[in-house]
Amino acid sequence: MPEQSREDRLAAAFVELADTLVGDFDIIAFLHTLADHCVDLLDVTAAGVMLATPQGDILDAAASDERTRALETDSIDWNEGPCLDCFRTGKAISDIPLTHPHARTHWPRFAHKAQELGFASVAAAPLRLREQTIGALNLFRATPDPLEPAQLRLGQALADIATIGILQQRAVHEQTVVSGQLQTALDSRIIVEQAKGALAHMRSISADEAFDQLRRYARHHRRRLTDVAREVMDGSTEAPLPAPEQ
């Protein structure tokens, strides 16, 4: 099968991010899909997504790789970083070199750790619809060259369509259910991280490889990612083997 053109992949990304009105909607898998589409379609090295709880707290919901997930976890612990600023203000942060005085002044620990991990610049886009901001998208580059304005606009467009998808999925439930969904998202993220670590240890592979195996297995068998992760942790099924390449 010939490789899809960028235009085809872009169209497919918008369709996938808009299709959330399904009975087995999995918000963690959905946000990982958003991060993956950003890396595929934008000139960025990695992407991460933070999501707000109804109480206004923010959690590291998804990332395109393990180093980005660890960096965003640290960012929340340190209470600093572009994603947090973007969420709090509801405004995008243009691509900023991590050596820039703004980054060093406002996010000293974040900027230092990001550079240690091989990143050179960062941008952030809010997950926002009108006045409601539900999270933020971080975009990382390994080079300090700024992203083209068109790339930043596309990143914001992907964040926008993901936000609309999440909010329309929530809209079919009562507000009490929404709170439960976000708590479930947090619980699911913890279960997935635990299963990823257990599988990595079991097979002597990296956490990124373990997560890829979990996702491929879940997709191939049309299973929820969190259900597969839970079964790995409780031992009710064998650790998933990678699904065959399509």
What pLDDT was estimated at residue 30? 92
Rg (CA), the chain: 18
What pLDDT was estimated at residue 232? 87
Report whether 29 contacts 16 (CB < 8 A). Answer: no
* Mean pLDDT along residues 216-229: 88
Alpha-carbon distance values, 232 to 30, 196, 236 (Å):
20, 9, 7
Per-residue b or e along 121-149, where b marks 16 or more CB atoms closer than 10 Å to that residue's CB: bbbbbbbbeeeebbbbbbbbbeeeeebee
Question: Which contiguous run of DSSP H or E holds residue 151?
Answer: helix 149-170
User: What domains are defined for the chain?
Assistant: 6-172 (3.30.450.40), 174-246 (1.10.10.10)
What is this structure's pTM?
Answer: 0.74
Q: What is the mean pLDDT of the chain?
A: 87
Residue 39 has pLDDT above 90, yes or no: yes
What pLDDT was estimated at residue 152? 93
DSSP-derived secondary structure for 165-211: HHHHHHTTS-HHHHHHHHHHHHHHHHHHHHHHHHHHHHHT--HHHHH
What pLDDT was estimated at residue 188? 79
Alpha-carbon distance values, 157 to 42, 129, 179, 184 (Å):
12, 11, 26, 27
Residue 166 has pLDDT above 50, yes or no: yes
* Mean pLDDT along residues 188-195: 86
Angle between helices 175-203 and 27-41 (to 10 degrees): 70
